[in-house]
């Protein structure tokens, strides 16, 4: 390996990247919750709610799933076993490859979409998408450095 990274530093960087990617995604989910009623509002008064962009919500769901798949201990091999029971093994491998590519680069799509189109989830999707994309690109290197110490 041309560039060796200490396993402790790799673990700290991996955890920081996971938490940094999770924070804007959490803010995005919080923005989807309906706002609370003001304390001194009349009972019949309507609460203003910003309409969410359906595609932005779809992207938020996908970058959340992408982040969950990058959490240490989540085995994609264990997730593919039920798929091999329903489909032929070569088709299951193709589906897993497409899913790996989709969840790997959905962060970039979410960031690009939110930069172009204004929506209530704009900045959480931009920041969460970029950090999730960085996590998917760097995670194999960091996990390899962590496993090298074992």
Average pLDDT over residues 81-85: 83
Q: Cα–Cα distances in Å, from 11 out to 1, 72, 146, 148?
A: 18, 11, 6, 12
**Residue 90 confidence (pLDDT) above 90:** no
pLDDT of residue 106: 95
Q: How far apart are the first and last CA of the chain?
A: 16
Domain range summary for the chain, segments of one domain joined by +: 7-32+52-147
Residue 48, pLDDT above cutoff 70? no
Summarised one tens digit per residue, pLDDT across range 97-110 is 899 899 999 999 99
pLDDT of residue 96 exceeding 80, the answer is yes
The fraction of the chain above a pLDDT of 70, given in percent, is: 95
């Amino acid at each position: 390996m041309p560039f060796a990274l200490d396993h402790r530093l790799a673990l700290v960087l991996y955890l920081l990247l996971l938490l940094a990617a999770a924070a804007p995604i959490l803010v995005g989910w919080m923005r989807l919750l309906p706002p609370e009623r003001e304390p001194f509002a009349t009972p019949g008064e309507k609460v203003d709610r910003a309409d969410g962009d359906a595609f932005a919500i779809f992207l938020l769901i996908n970058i959340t799933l992408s982040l969950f798949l990058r959490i240490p201990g989540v085995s994609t091999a264990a997730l593919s076993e039920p798929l091999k029971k329903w489909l032929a093994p070569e088709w299951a491998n193709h589906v897993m490859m497409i899913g790996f590519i989709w969840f790997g680069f959905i962060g970039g799509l979410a960031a690009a979409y939110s930069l172009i189109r204004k929506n209530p989830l704009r900045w959480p999707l931009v920041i969460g998408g970029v950090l999730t994309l960085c996590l998917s690109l760097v995670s194999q290197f960091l996990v390899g450095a962590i496993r090298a110490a074992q």
